[in-house]
Amino acid sequence: MNKQELVDKVSKKVGLTKKDTQSVVDTLIESIMDTLKKGNSVTLVGFGSFKVVKRAARKGRNPQSGKSIDIPARKTPKFTPGKLFKEKVK
């Protein structure tokens, strides 16, 4: 399912126009990203949680040349599914 298919499905389920639903979905995604950018986490009970994790610097290997390279430390988003989410997917 892509973003437009999600908007269509939610629009039909809640009775909003596709334009209004698109705005809600965009705002939700933007709000999650803004919160993570500030270093905070987002928890949606039953669905899961989004947080930023720090990845340590490490050594890597260039697959084309085989040379060793340094990969710098960085922050990356992480999603952990909630209990209800896991049960629904089983």
CA separation for the pair 61, 52 (Å, rounded): 25
In this predicted model, what pLDDT tens digit does every residue of 64-79 receive, in sequence order? Answer: 999 999 999 999 999 9
Domains of the chain with bracketed CATH: 3-89 (4.10.520.10)
Phi, psi of 36 (to 5 degrees): -65, -40
- pTM, entire model: 0.80
- Please tell me the distance from the alpha carbon of residue 86 to that of residue 51, in angstroms, as a whole number: 18
pLDDT tens digits for range 16-66? 999 999 999 999 999 999 999 999 999 999 999 999 999 999 999 999 999
30: left (phi over 0), alpha (psi -120 to 50) or beta: alpha
What is the distance between the alpha carbons of residues 88 and 90, in angstroms, rounded to a whole number? 6
- Encoding tokens for residue 31? 């709000």
